[in-house]
Amino acid sequence: MRLEINQKSDSVAGEYYYKKNGNTQKIMLEGMLKDGELNLQENTFNIAKRKYETTGNFKLNYIDQISLNGTWQKSAKNTLYLTVKLAAKENLKAFNPSNYVFQYARNRAKLDYIPADAQYYFDLVSLKVFINKSMRWMFTDFEDVYTKEAEIILEDLNFDGYLDFKVPIYYPGLAKGDYSYRYFIYYPEKRGFIQNTQLNEMGVVFFDAVRKEAQTIDADGSGNEGTKYFRWQNEKLFLIKEERVYENDIYTHITSYKIENGKSELVKTEKKK
């Protein structure tokens, strides 16, 4: 189960899936965390009706920042409760930056052209991180980086149990692919964050904490789509699999790799219906 909390509103959104069904059949979650109690409503896509339907509710207690314990009940009345126990993958007791203060320094963007929403863009000048009103880190390497809302997303990017963070950035005037992120990974031995160049160059990356895989997706809008899967090794991401589908082609084309001698080496190619 993956959950995201908006610290300003205490609203929670997320998803989960059953292993037997695979992660393509995700169940969507939304709710609120209040006074240590998390109430979530789940919604599942009904293929026949082509819409989401409420299928159940979670009532969970957030215990010591390491677990969620409670019950799940089907949406129908008078149904039995099922016991739920979830353990956090992130080690928030060892390191929890959610109480840090992240401070942007930014200027109104001066663009060579004027898109319709130009007033919403800012040049990101610097990002400072404070602990107990004391500045611990400052980042200034943001040449030609534009932001909108002052937003920070905390997430374990390299699956080591410590929360890292990413900064949403935007590309003015683009209709497609108009956003990305700047990624910062926490290194416990250095007690600090370091901006990750490889992730920055990859753009929009999705992180699967269960499989410990990073994913990128590309599509041209004409039915040609691809997903690349990566794994961490020695602080670098290596390609382990690529899946592609093409317009007017009934097959999924799969290319598998293995990590060897610091490289992604081709293992096999295949196609499946």
User: Does residue 116 register a pLDDT over 80?
Assistant: no
> Higher-confidence residue: 145 or 112?
145
Whether residues 155 and 212 share a domain: the answer is no
Whether residues 60 and 153 share a domain: the answer is no
Number of domains within the chain: 3
Tens-digit pLDDT profile for residues 242-269: 999 999 899 999 999 999 999 999 999 9
**Mean pLDDT, the chain, integer:** 88
Those residues with Cβ within 8 angstroms of residue 129's Cβ, 6 or more apart along the chain or in another chain: 97, 100, 101, 102, 103, 135, 136, 137, 138, 193
* The predicted structure's pLDDT at residue 170: 84
Tens-digit pLDDT profile for residues 192-210: 999 999 999 999 999 998 8
Whether residues 83 and 123 share a domain: the answer is no
- Its domain, for residue 8, covers 2-87
E-state strands within 99-234: 101-108, 122-131, 134-139, 146-147, 153-155, 164-170, 179-187, 192-195, 206-208, 213-219, 225-233
Average the pLDDT over 62-70 and give the result: 87
User: Does residue 10 register a pLDDT over 90?
Assistant: no
DSSP summary character for residue 210: T
CA 5, 157, 243, 227 dihedral sign is positive
In the chain, the percentage of residues whose pLDDT exceeds 70 is: 94
Whether residues 111 and 177 share a domain: the answer is yes
Tens-digit pLDDT profile for residues 154-204: 999 999 999 999 999 888 766 676 889 999 999 999 889 999 999 999 999
Whether residues 132 and 157 share a domain: the answer is yes
User: Does residue 8 register a pLDDT over 80?
Assistant: no
Of 169, 201, 233, the position where a domain reaches its end is: 201
Of 41, 72, 87, the position where a domain reaches its end is: 87
Q: In whole angstroms, give the CA distance from residue 98 to residue 91.
A: 12
Whether residues 119 and 155 share a domain: the answer is yes
Whether residues 170 and 229 share a domain: the answer is no
Average the pLDDT over 16-43 and give the result: 86
Of 61, 87, 113, the position where a domain reaches its end is: 87
